[in-house]
Amino acid sequence: MRSGPAAVLAAAALALLPATASARTAYPDPLPLTGQQIIHDPTVHQLPNGRYVAYSTGGILGARLSTDLTHWTDAGNAFTTPPAWWYDYNSTADPWAPDLTYRDGRYWLYYAVSSWGTNRSAIGVATSPTGLPGTWTDHGPAFTSEKTDTWNAIDPAVIRAGGRLWLAFGSYWSGIRMTELDPATGKALADAPVHHLATRPDAPYAVEGPSILHHGGYYYLFASYDACCAGVNSTYKIRVGRSKSVTGPYTDSTGTPMLNGGGDLLLSGHGRYAGPGGESTFRTRGKTWLAYHYYDATDGGTPKLGLNQLRWRAGRPVVK
């Protein structure tokens, strides 16, 4: 759920971070927020009426609403009841890590259903005419993985590129992958190849939660590295690389491929803001924003929404 399998989150293994480029050594704090800030793995979108909606892990995909990006209110859940097929992948029908997009006159919500520590997983898809909680129609699995696969079908991120529709995904196992979707159904094309975008050289291959942004002729792959979901002990951090092609290869500012453990360090824990990750990006009013969760060290490690504007320096993103 932009969270890797618990069985492989060994502290010693997580310490094996390869030498990669670091974008900066000090980090700005996130935008000051008020209201309902508790969130995990956020995806944010501005609706036509100017309001912002955020969906996240927790509940039946918890929803938050805002008129100004700074004050957020609880808006219930995307779904009123879990679709029955979720129970095939999770005994409590617990969905993770949603991704919200708009195309062809509808809002599309992708999300993961799995169980902690296994790669028998599914990415589901739902549509809505408004993008608001309680209006979603579920369409079942869009892509799945089994224990015999070398990837894990969770943490979806959808992007249109070159007139085609693509799904990035992945958590641990072999890292970040990508496959092509049918634009009509929003589901994976039959027999479409699965491309490999990012991994690390050592087990447990602690990279997950992709998000892809197109800017200035490049595609930028953001991913969460290290350990999620341990409150103030979380070691999550966000790294990024870029490519001319949506399917890669993605490299950092030193030229190191993300398939070889590369990735510029974009955001890491600092001060009260522990373990930032589970990121996504969105654009509004001419600005590009990075949305993520962090664990608040002044509030018992409660996961909260982080928002930072993205700026560009020598063709690479930095947080403001």
Q: Dump pLDDT digits (tens) for 280-308.
A: 999 999 999 999 999 999 999 999 999 99
pLDDT at res. 54: 98
pLDDT band at 11 (very low <50, low <70, confident <90, very high): very low
pLDDT at res. 13: 33
Residue 272 token pair: 């009260």
Per-chain mean pLDDT for the chain:
92
Q: Is residue 41 scored above 70 in pLDDT?
A: yes
Q: Report the catalytic residues.
A: 41, 208
pLDDT at res. 26: 83
pLDDT at res. 24: 45
pLDDT at res. 165: 98
pLDDT at res. 245: 98
Q: Is residue 271 scored above 70 in pLDDT?
A: yes
**Percent with pLDDT over 90 in the chain:** 90
φ/ψ of residue 260, rounded to 5: -110, 25
* Euclidean distance between CA atoms 41 and 211, whole angstroms: 11
pLDDT at res. 4: 40
Q: Dump pLDDT digits (tens) for 210-231.
A: 999 999 999 999 999 999 999 9
pLDDT at res. 25: 57
Mean pLDDT, residues 13-31 taken together: 56
Domains and CATH numbers, the chain: 6-319 (2.115.10.20)
Decide which of 31 and 10 is more confident: 31
* Euclidean distance between CA atoms 138 and 110, whole angstroms: 10
pLDDT at res. 116: 87
Please write down the HEC assignment for all residues of 170-211: CECCCCEEEEEECCCCCCECCCCCCEEEECCCCCCCCEEEEE
